[in-house]
A and B are shown apart, each in its own frame.
Chain A
Amino acid sequence: MKLRKQTGLKAALVAVVGGLFLAFLGLIKSDPGISAEPADSGASSSPTPSSDLYKRFFAPDADRGGGSVQPAPQANPNAAPRNQPRPHTRSRPS
């Protein structure tokens, strides 16, 4: 039965799919505008390396001062050294 033949055409189709994939990959990687997030997308946005919206969404503590970017305490030479907990340095939940 010839129904499952046409291997040449199928191979060509697979090649076209591969070419399309590479073309889209190149387009996405090369065009910085594509990474930009729509302005109205708010917190539930996709990863945007330029604006870090995604990091803010998945690791809000890191940007709101609850994580690694806490401001350093004021230096006080009279204060006794304390065992302060170190701010975690993780940028996103594991």
Chain B
Amino acid sequence: MDHTFWYLTRASGLVAYLLLFASVALGLAMTTSLFSSRFRRYRVYDIHRFLSLVTLGVTVFHVLIVLPDGYFSFSARQLLVPFASPYRPFSMALGVFALYLMAIIILSFYLRPLVPYRAWRLLHYATFGAFVLALAHGIGAGADTGAGWALFLYAGTGVAVLYLVVYRVLRGSARGLKHPVHREATSPTPARSLG
């Protein structure tokens, strides 16, 4: 039997996860002093937003490409409704929640003028939740989790995001106050306190 679609969904899932990691890491680094000296912040924000869009696109591809796979025979309902999947329903549901959360957050990029800033920022923090959900989905539902390189990938990205969060909480806010930025010209998340 041809397993092309199965391979495609696995590869795209890994790429989508790495893209989500890159987007989250970039978003975190952007609000710290890590990029301030080398890159203009609005450029980093632009790339961050673009990465988020690409992440969503690859994630949707990851979900849909398994539909034509005769080996799986998933229905759209099983893929899009949490806990409806016959294959590892809990881990699959985590992925479904991550997808919906990502879609809402990315949509909020474009609804930014319509949403109060504080609400927008709070919603943006849900990105961490989406990342954790995607990580758990990858570990729990991924067929490659047993491979050493996959474990290294998950552990490395998880630790990197954790490090950036801690860095952001401990140091980002203090440095950010020294370099206030205009919201409309740069990032919609000026580097103030995280809370």
A interface residues (Cβ-Cβ under 8 A, vs B): 2-6, 9-10, 13-14, 17, 20-21, 24-25, 27-29, 31, 33-38, 44, 46-49, 54, 57-58, 92-94
Contacts and interface: CB of A to CB of B under 8 A. Distances in A.
A3 B42 contact: yes
Interface in B83-111: 86-88
Contacts of A14: 54
Contacts of A13: 47, 50-51, 54
7 contacts: A4-B46, A24-B10, A28-B7, A28-B10, A37-B146, A47-B71, A93-B73
Mostly, the B contact residues are helix
Interface residues of B, number: 34
Contact of A6 (B8, B46, B72, B149): B46
B50 A10 contact: yes
Given A24-B14, A47-B72, A6 B147 contact: no
A68 B86 CA distance: 23
Contacts of A93: 73
B71 A54 contact: yes
Contacts of B183: none
Given A2-B42, A17-B19, A46 B50 contact: no
Contacts of B1: 49
Interface of B: 1, 3, 6-8, 10-12, 14-15, 18-19, 42-43, 45-47, 50-51, 54, 58, 71-73, 86-88, 141, 143-147, 149
Residue among A14, A36, A47, A49 facing the most chain B CB atoms (10 A cut-off): A47
Given A4-B46, A28-B10, A92-B71, 11 more contacts: A6-B46, A13-B50, A17-B54, A25-B7, A28-B7, A33-B147, A36-B146, A37-B146, A46-B87, A46-B141, A47-B3
A94 B73 contact: yes
Contacts of A94: 73
A6 B3 CA distance: 38
Nearest to A10: B50
A34 B144 contact: yes
A35 to B, nearest CB: 7
Nearest to B142: A46
A4 B146 CA distance: 41
A25 B15 CA distance: 10
B11 A6 contact: no
